Amino acid sequence: MRVLVTGARGYLGRSVVGELGAAGHAVVPFAGDIRTADIPPADGVIHLAALPRVRESFNDPLAYYDVNVTGTLRLLRAAPPRFVLASTAGVYGTPLCHVLTEDHPRQPTNPYAASKAAAEDALAWTARAGSTAAATLRLFNVAGGGDRDDTRVITRACGVAAGRLPSMEVYGDGTAVRDFVHVRDAARAFVLALETCEPGRHEAYNVGATPASVADVLAAVRRVTGREVAVDRKPAHPGETRELRADTTKLRALGWHPRESSLDGLIRDQWGGGPHRT
């Protein structure tokens, strides 16, 4: 299959390109601005390119809608037979329940997540109106593989352990639980969704693997690296959801299972492959 990949040079994109090649697909990396550049023909699209910063999205919501929604619409107008969209668990907002299925109501609480929810809707309605086979992958916390984004929990904790960063901000008592998944496990989910999506249908899939608290992450970093992690304690965020776990039953029914997403494995991979190692 000839697969167009937007965001192919990004953190997740590099792994997706690798997994597509391993599965025998021909990869076409998208070049240019998705709002204006020509869209080459392809048998399928994996759409990863987006503006991704939650805090930044509050300052410039129109830019987030312009890139994340308008860019998706342009790709859809090219009418690819198969389309897989990278979305976020942020579309669920701050739910009261701890384990989230794909049927949970979407209640985004920031412009970034809202723009992703809008892109999901455009994809779902496009699939329903015609022959496009479509899937949305709602990513929880992607980690490992030498990530360079210090805003992510595991990446920052490893950076502090290496002495590259001064400290790790921990809000509250550090017991809030989030769901982590290795970037290569996430990439395999994209390839599988592309290969199994059905014409005229849109399916959403949660992508997570290992629930862990911030305290668990810090303990794992100390255990794996043998180094201390300096912590800067902050008051808990008001209204923060104490626990968010991904129900991945739908994705596993396709044959997916995480291979590299144990907590120690995530830390070890990030430590060994990260840009911060000293």
- The list of the chain residues with pLDDT below 50 reads 275-278
Note if the pTM is more than 0.85: yes
Q: Is 11 an annotated catalytic residue?
A: no
Residue spans per domain, the chain: 2-143+180-208+245-252
The active-site residue, picked from 64, 112, 171, 205, is 112
DSSP the chain: -EEEEETTTSHHHHHHHHHHHHTTPEEEE--S-TTTS-----SEEEE------HHHHHH-HHHHHIIIIIHHHHHHHT--SEEEEEEEGGGG-S-SSSEE-TTSPP---SHHHHHHHHHHHHHHHHHHHSS-EEEEEEE-EEE-SS---TTSHHHHHHHHHTTSSS-EEEETTS--EEEEEEHHHHHHHHHHHHHH--BT-EEEEEE--EEEEHHHHHHHHHHHH-----EEEEPPPTT--SB-EE--HHHHHTT---SS--HHHHHHHHHHHSTT--
The predicted pLDDT at position 236 comes to 83
The predicted pLDDT at position 167 comes to 97
User: pLDDT (tens digit, 9 = 90+) per residue, 150-173?
Assistant: 999 999 999 999 999 999 999 999
- What topology is assigned to 2-143+180-208+245-252 in CATH? Rossmann fold (3.40.50)
